[in-house]
Amino acid sequence: MAPLPNAELVQNSLQLYRYLLRCCKQLPEENIRQHYRHAIRQSFRVHADEDDPDRIQQIIKRAIEDADWVMNK
């Protein structure tokens, strides 16, 4: 399963959140989709107070790489 196009256009946390939820819609089983949606929401809650722009970009990059890995699994 290929990742969604335009991952390189993700620049901020809201765009990342939308991108990751769209990726979840492509997963084959409902229980897997629910698991990853929950994990995405939890991760955003954990990082909600992050204010360092470099760290935010690092988190975005890592999240997209992780999503690509999950989609290709």
To the nearest 10°, report the CA torsion of 50, 51, 57, 63. 10
Give the residue with greater pLDDT, 1 vs 35: 35
Compute the average pLDDT of residues 27-42: 93
Amino acid in position 61: K
Q: What digits encode the pLDDT tens for the residues 42-52? A: 999 999 899 99
Q: What digits encode the pLDDT tens for the residues 4-13? A: 667 778 888 8
Q: Is the dihedral of CA 59, 61, 67, 73 positive or negative?
A: negative
- Given a cut of 60, whether residue 28 has pLDDT beyond it is yes
pLDDT of amino acid 1: 47
Element (H, E) at 3: none
pTM (2 d.p.): 0.82
32: alpha, beta or left, given left = phi > 0 and alpha = psi -120 to 50? Answer: alpha
